[in-house]
Structure formats: C-alpha cells, structure tokens
Structure 1
Amino acid sequence: MEVGGVEVVLLDSDIAGYVSTWLSSGRLNGGAHPILAQCMDEAYRVARLLVDSTDAAYFEGLGNLAHAVLGADEVREEFAPPRSYLACKWSHSASDEPTVILSELDSARYEVRKIQQFADGRLERADRITEASTSLSWEPTPSEPEIAANDEFELVDIDAATFEENWRQAVPVGLPVLVIDGDKFDDFEGFVVRFSALLEDFKWNGSLDAFNDILRGGCGTPDGGFELRWLNSTRSRQALGRPATIRWLEDTIARAHSSNIPRLAAELEAARRGQGTTLFEWIVEIVEAHGPGGHEAESSVLLRLL
C-alpha cells in the first residue's frame, strides 16, 4: 500500500529495524541517521494524509520513535527535514473559496501545513487531511513554473517567519467541539462544575492557573486542541461580572500565599470601585491566549462566544 508516495509496509519495517538496532547498540552509525531522518519525515507525511485516526496515530508514533532516536544520538538538528514555503493569490468569482493559499511543503512537495485566507480576511489552517473547508492535498504540489502558467494564480514571495506569523493568526479547522451553556450555571462555582464535566478523567478545582494548564492539553481536553463554544455567553458575562469577581477575590485572598495577597488585595479594591477585569473577562483572556494570535496559540483552542 502506498500513501503520499511512500510504501507504508517498507516504512514500518525500516523504522522498526533502525530502532531495534539502536536499542541493541546504543547508537546508530553515521550513515543511518539521514535515512532515519527521511523515514521520520515520511512517517509524519503518511500520518497527515491518513483519514482514519487509528492508522494516523500509528504512523505518528513511528515518526515519534525515529524522532526520539535522532534526538538521543544528538543529530536531530543536523538532519532536520527540509521545508519550503509557497504562497499564491487565487483569482476567481466563488465566494466560498480562498483568495490566498499558503503552504509549507516537505522535500517531496507534499503539504505539511496549509493556510487559506478568504475574501472577508478570515484565516483557516490545517495540518492534516480533514473534512473541513481547509485541508491538506492528497497530491504533491505542482512546481512554481506550473503554477505560474495558470492565469488564475499569482505567486507571492514568502519565508518561514511570515508563514509562522500567519499560522499563529489562523483558525484551526476540524477541531473537536466542547460546549458550555451559560444558561446552566449562575456563578463561578457552577462554571467550574460545567467545565469540569467536559474533561475526560480529570477534575478542575477552580484555580485559574490550573485552568490555563488544562488548556495546554493533557488534562482531560482533546489532543491537538479543541473549539470551545460558549452558549448564552452574554448571560455568563453578567453571572461572572463584578459581584462574582469580588466574591472570588475575597475567597482567593483567604486561601492565598502571603506573597500574592498585596496584588490580590489591590485587584479586590479596584473591583469594589467598579474597576478592573471581571472574572468573565479573565476567563476569556486565558482561553484566547491559547487561540489564534495568542502567546500560546500552539494549544489550538478556539473560543466562540455565542
């Protein structure tokens, strides 16, 4: 079976062989490293292209094994997979199609990541095959001369830094959806209960620091990010407004370490004057920091206030 130009049975066998050799000898010989690095990149490519999540996870695991061996031998940076970047404007009359396409390509010109910009300025991103509007292509990307020969496309210069900045601003597609309903709770304690119910085998204790950690993944949230749909968020804005903020700060101060009390006391005094950030605003800020444009955008958490 071949996927993305890779014979998957041979790839499986090759990586298993190199890992077995490394386990028995403690280090691969120099000539094996570039081959294993190529196998690693091919495993990740296959994982990106496979629709079945179980199969994709298997080849992602193979890639991670190769990645670990290269790291243990301290040659990972030396044999980092080559990447190229492509951007083109697309002229058409279809309102639901992108106007600009940005792609990160591997050595065989298969897409590693893709960003699509639409006429309304919306940016969507994908790093694997999905059923959403933005997804990777099954086929290798044509060469620049082939693209330029099509009058609908205009190539635009782009480098890795520009691609990364657009990637941070783009909205992930195909994410699992978690829903919290503002009609189902009336205070912060209720929000904690409702959000905890969304987590798998994990309970949130209400700490905002812990909430921030949960959004990074690995604490009951889906791997690879998720979309948080906050229904009836206007009601939650009121329920978690100034009075709730004052109660939360009073309770937090009672349990806080002495070094944190001056800051919390200042925030409490501001809240009593009707100033400062509300509890609802704090929660939104934390979530948005893990989404497009945030300083932890790699968490891929998309907040929709409905």
Structure 2
Amino acid sequence: MPKRDAVYFIDGRRIRSLEDFLSVVGEAVSGPGGYFGRNLDAVADCLTGGYGTPEDGTFRFVWQYSRESRSALGYAETVRQLEIRFEQCHPDNKARVHRELDRAIAAEGPTVFDWLVDIFEFRNVELELQWENAFAKASVLQVGRAGVRVVARGSPLSCTDLTSTSLVRTLFRSRY
C-alpha cells in the first residue's frame, strides 16, 4: 500500500506579515508554538524534511485563503522586510539590497509572497494555493514536484500545466 503524503494546512487569513507566516506554518507542522524557521533561509532548510515534517519528503502544504495572504505579503511588507535586511546585511550587500528596496518601493519585482512560493518550488515541495474568486468557488494553484498546475473548480477554465511560477504570476496576477 503506497504511503500517503502528510498534508499541512496554512490558514492565510491569519497571515499579515512574514513573521505571521513563520508562526502559522510552525503551528501547522508542529502544533502551538511550533518552529518552522525564523527567516527565509530557515524555512528553506525546514522544507527539506525533518523539523516536524517527514524526513523522506512525503509531505505537502495547502495554503488556504492564499489571496488574502498575497495581499498582506505584498509590496508594503516587502519594503518592511527589505528595510530590516538592509540594516542587518553585510556592507558588501548593501547596494544590492538597496536596489531591491527601491524596486519594492516602486511596486516592482517579487514580493514576500513570491519569495515564499519560490522557496517551495526551489525545494520541490508541493504547495497548493487555494482562493475564491468571481469565476470559481475554489481555485487552486499547485507548485512543486510536478511543476506548476492551475486548477479552477466550478468554472469554465480548464486545467493547465505550466512550468514556471513567474509565468503563472503573470497570467493569474488577479486570481491568486
């Protein structure tokens, strides 16, 4: 009998900052007060298995209400995080971080939400983004082991297999 993946649910309604995301994911994996990193590098490490998830990588995440999180983890939060990073980074990295900060202030480039989705994709961990919109009662974007898959339930949209989260972000910017 094949082993079933562990599934961890992220409640996007509780996420208003990167720190909230870290707490919510930690609780989803390990219960109240659970740890899943205190920065983006630690999240990437935790996604390799262990730290509360099966070490063999048989786990996935379902990010419910991801549209609400996407809004909260948009450019304002990105600017805040880059300001923190700028103050703490090595002097050799200041110019690069300052350029990233200038782009975020201009509402250009990736957001904190994008950073997080990219980490899941980079670590090849399945992430299912769920949201509701005017077109579908429930829509899903799956990122991970099999590339990127967009599924719109309850709408005339068909399933589409894609290979890049950046392409998905461009095509579905208003939907996830």
Could you say which TM-score interval applies, normalised by the shorter chain?
Answer: 0.5 to 0.7
- Relative to structure 1, is the Cα distance of residues 230 and 260 closer, same or farther in structure 2, using a 3 angstrom cutoff? same
Q: Does 1:269 find its partner at 2:110?
A: no
d(CA) in 1 for partners of 2:45 and 2:69? 22
Question: How far off its partner does 1:202 sit?
Answer: 6.1
Match of 2:74 in 1: 241
Instruction: Please list every run of 5 or more consecutive structure 1 residues that lacks an aligned counterpart in the other structure.
Output: 1-128, 132-173, 292-300
Instruction: Please list every run of 5 or more consecutive structure 2 residues that lacks an aligned counterpart in the other structure.
Output: 131-176
Helix, strand or coil at the partner of 1:305: strand
Question: How far off its partner does 1:238 sit?
Answer: 0.3
Match of 1:71 in 2: none
- Relative to structure 1, is the Cα distance of residues 218 and 205 closer, same or farther in structure 2, using a 3 angstrom cutoff? closer
- Relative to structure 1, is the Cα distance of residues 257 and 194 closer, same or farther in structure 2, using a 3 angstrom cutoff? same
d(CA) in 1 for partners of 2:92 and 2:52? 31
d(CA) in 2 for partners of 1:305 and 1:258? 37
Structure having the higher Rg: 1
Pairs within 5 Å for 1:49-68: none
Letter in 1 for 2:17: D
Match of 2:46 in 1: 214
d(CA) in 1 for partners of 2:34 and 2:13? 23
Contact persistence 1:217–1:223 (CA under 8 A): yes
Q: Does 1:185 find its partner at 2:18?
A: no
d(CA) in 1 for partners of 2:87 and 2:36? 20
Helix, strand or coil at the partner of 2:127: strand
Question: How far off its partner does 1:205 sit?
Answer: 4.3
Letter in 1 for 2:128: R
Contact persistence 1:202–1:219 (CA under 8 A): no
Match of 2:56 in 1: 224
d(CA) in 2 for partners of 1:240 and 1:188? 7
Q: Does 1:289 find its partner at 2:122?
A: yes
Letter in 2 for 1:190: D
Q: Does 1:195 find its partner at 2:22?
A: no
Helix, strand or coil at the partner of 1:274: coil
Q: Deviations over 1:135-192 (max 9, x none)?
A: xxxxxxxxxxxxxxxxxxxxxxxxxxxxxxxxxxxxxxx2100110101222222111
d(CA) in 1 for partners of 2:112 and 2:37? 16
Q: CA RMSD in A?
A: 1.8
Question: How far off its partner does 1:224 sit?
Answer: 1.8
Q: Deviations over 1:30-72 (max 9, x none)?
A: xxxxxxxxxxxxxxxxxxxxxxxxxxxxxxxxxxxxxxxxxxx
Pairs within 5 Å for 1:166-185: 174-185=4-15
Helix, strand or coil at the partner of 2:61: strand
Identity %: 35
Contact persistence 2:10–2:24 (CA under 8 A): yes
Question: How many equivalent residue pairs?
Answer: 127
Letter in 1 for 2:5: L
Q: Does 1:304 find its partner at 2:120?
A: no
